[in-house]
A and B are shown apart, each in its own frame.
Chain A
Amino acid sequence: MSQSLFPRPDTPLRSEAGPYFGDFGGRFLPEALVPALDEIREAYEKAIVDPDFIAELQRLSREYTGRPSLLSEAPRFSALAGGARVLLKREDLNHTGSHKINNVLGQALLTQRMGKTRVIAETGAGQHGVATATAAALFGLDCTIYMGEEDTERQALNVARMRLLGAEVVPVTHGSRTLKDAINEAFRDWVTNVETTHYLLGTVAGPHPFPVMVRDFHRVIGEEAREQVLERTGALPDAVVACVGGGSNAMGIFHAFLDDADVRLIGCEAGGDGVATGRHSATIGGGSPGVLHGARSFVMQDDDGQTIPSHSVSAGLDYPSVGPEHAWLAEIGRAEYRAIDDDAAMDAFALLSMTEGIMPALESAHALAGALALGRELGEGSTVLVSLSGRGDKDVDTASRWFGLLDDPSDGSDGSDGSDGAAAPRGDLAALRDLARSTLPTDRAASPETAGPETTAAADPATPLTEEENR
């Protein structure tokens, strides 16, 4: 018997390998694609017991991605989280700046083994698109990335990165012009070109085997982190927190802990303007069971089963469904899913930057906001592991608008349409800076150029920053 790269442990939850997770999952897609899905499943099952594949993926992981990724302490940030010890799993330090590269390298190797010469992918924030374009360059594959037009505007830096890497980026102009429509367009391309083309799906959603395969390629996040936390603290963490859009980084880090019953698993969905407003992406918190993009899962939908457009400040979480394994973990109560609204996520984005010198992706900022709230619930002596799934360079433009850092808002390429480019800032950076300074020793905690009356109000760390709606 050969050793599998992804052993199925003989424990109740970690052994699940699809096609169904409870009532969720399956293959709801055109018959024309069934042979391609079968081919991927067979190639995948062969590859993960093939020593050559295992060795090559492990070499790339080490020499190209830079694994294992670090586990960082975050002492000043922890002070804002009720004194809980917050540990950061640093997927932001991977090559290309997020966890996405783990899955992309695995699937790119499979693409080669299947004899295909072209990859296509959807992307929301652009992180998966950049990772796919990177792997396409590395392996010499043709590459087309579908991206909602709205996302190409708010993630312009990543669009440029993909094009510089040699990929074709196709802005998708119909529907809600975001991630879901990019996926529709990628499916249309795939069914047309399936003979030469692999659809390098970027999250744990879609038809079987994607949810299982993508999760397996990301399992390394949780397996490394579990070892690192044990070694560092001598115990398992009290909770693991990750952001959930489709849910790939969350499944990657949760998987190692699924059968550790004492470890709470917390998925942070994007609450947008607040779940009550309807303008959000909290699929588990605010959706219902249905079928979208090939799998049965939770879907944001109306009474007729029409998809309701999602909303989030974070393009990578702006998706109206979620991976079926998350739907199942929510249903059986193994994981909890909370909605983090835009305001709380943006605050956490700035606070991690100012307390630790680490600028997170807006997606990961949702997990950090969740950790701030959870830490206050768990209190001192607890340990909270956070999946820091990506870095925030791509989000500087969004954050600058949010906090009013652009001197002349009309000086940008957008804003010319008279929309919110020139709107008043929504976030108070000065108040957040004071809050960050409150974590310094008492004699240094006051703001140096102190302390106009407008900067003191928010300096009490006990003031709740977040208004999550617990499910």
Chain B
Amino acid sequence: MSTTARLRAGDVLERTRAEGRPALVGYLPVGFPDQQRCIQAARTLVDNGVDVLELGLPYSDPVMDGPVIQQAATAALAGGTRTHHVLEAVEALRGSGAAVLVMTYWNPVLAQGVASFAQRLAAAGGAGLITPDLIPDEAGDWLTASEEEELDRVFLVAPSSPRERLSHVVSHASGFVYAASTMGVTGTRDSVGEATRGLVERTRAAGARNVCVGLGVSTGTQAAEVGAYADGVIVGSAFVKALMEDLAAAGADGADPGAEASLDAAVPMPRLAAKARELREGVESARSGVRA
């Protein structure tokens, strides 16, 4: 076990706040295209400017995900990815410099036992969980376990959320609150919803210190636009797409059932690295207008 101190999402967000910029949060599904290259991809993100990693636990019924992430998660499951692989990936990435959150639908956590999963996640160096289909009302066991293990509870809010729901979510969240930019599922979009700034402001007014915006952000320009008012910018499908392109270019696309055998199968990931740099530049320029 590594002894590197465990980074919480809030620690990173305080650091980027001090730097006068929003944080860049990057999502990848564990096990795509296999365990080793997923970890390589995550390191590539961190090396090129991602501050917080969001590792997706692939699930058979991902109702909040659009086609790109569904495809990657399905391939990861077909390749034999199990829950323990997610915890191993967290462990491998502790000490990378990024805080490592796990994004998971709730049933895989229930199947492990909430308290037991929380213990193992903390032991692996994980910062906490993002739970797209768990609302605080149903989260009793998780509230207790996350307090005991000092894990972040990232709940979501949406443009549809009225004031009382925002207060409810904010009062149970820790690390940050995940503001969905639009009503919909994950995926790249041409523009980030107009209502997003208002949602971030309403979420802050409800008491949130850190509000990160996700769903639909795929370019540096969008990241700069959103980063002007959000504490963090969350990017998923755009990274997964770039990774798919790198894999296709290397002739290594698709999940590899023999993941164990591909330890040295590192592939070049220039598109993924470039996408991360583009988005990092976006978040760095986000407040330039304000500061000048």
Contact = CB atoms under 8 A, between A and B. Distances in A.
A298 to B, nearest CB: 12
Interface string A270-306: 0000000000000000000011111000010101111
Given A187-B63, A291-B110, A305-B111, A35 B165 contact: yes
A29 interface: yes
B33 to A, nearest CB: 18
A307 B106 CA distance: 12
A28 interface: yes
Interface stretch (A124-132, A189-197, A214-222, A349-357): A189-197
Given A34-B165, A301-B111, A191 B82 contact: no
A276 to B, nearest CB: 22
A294 B165 CA distance: 18
Given A30-B132, A31-B135, A32-B160, A305 B109 contact: yes
A180 interface: yes
Interface string A237-255: 0000000000000000000
B110 A305 contact: yes
Contacts of B160: 32-36, 194
Contact of B62 (A32, A35, A184): A184
A338 B286 CA distance: 61
22 contacts: A29-B135, A30-B64, A30-B135, A31-B155, A31-B158, A32-B158, A32-B161, A33-B160, A34-B165, A174-B74, A175-B61, A175-B74, A188-B63, A188-B66, A192-B183, A192-B185, A290-B107, A290-B110, A290-B111, A294-B133, A301-B107, A306-B77
B160 to A, nearest CB: 5
- Tell me what chain A mostly uses at the interface: helix, strand, loop, or mixed: mixed
A26 interface: yes
Interface in B10-65: 59-64
Interface string A136-178: 0000000000000000000000000000000000000011000
Interface residues of B, number: 39
Contacts of B137: 27
Nearest to A180: B61
Interface of B: 59-64, 66, 70, 74, 77, 82-83, 106-112, 132-135, 137-138, 155-162, 165, 169, 180, 183-185
A306 B138 contact: no
Nearest to B85: A304
Interface of A: 26-36, 174-175, 180-181, 184, 187-188, 191-195, 290-294, 299, 301, 303-307
A31 B169 contact: yes
A291 B107 contact: yes
A34 B185 contact: no
Given A31-B157, A32-B183, A194-B160, A184 B138 contact: no
Contacts of B112: 304-305
A7 B77 CA distance: 47
Given A30-B64, A307-B60, 12 more contacts: A30-B63, A30-B132, A30-B135, A32-B180, A175-B60, A290-B107, A290-B110, A301-B111, A304-B83, A304-B112, A305-B112, A306-B108
Nearest to A36: B160
B215 to A, nearest CB: 10
Nearest to B159: A32
Contacts of B70: 174
A423 B231 CA distance: 61
B120 to A, nearest CB: 13
A181 B61 CA distance: 7
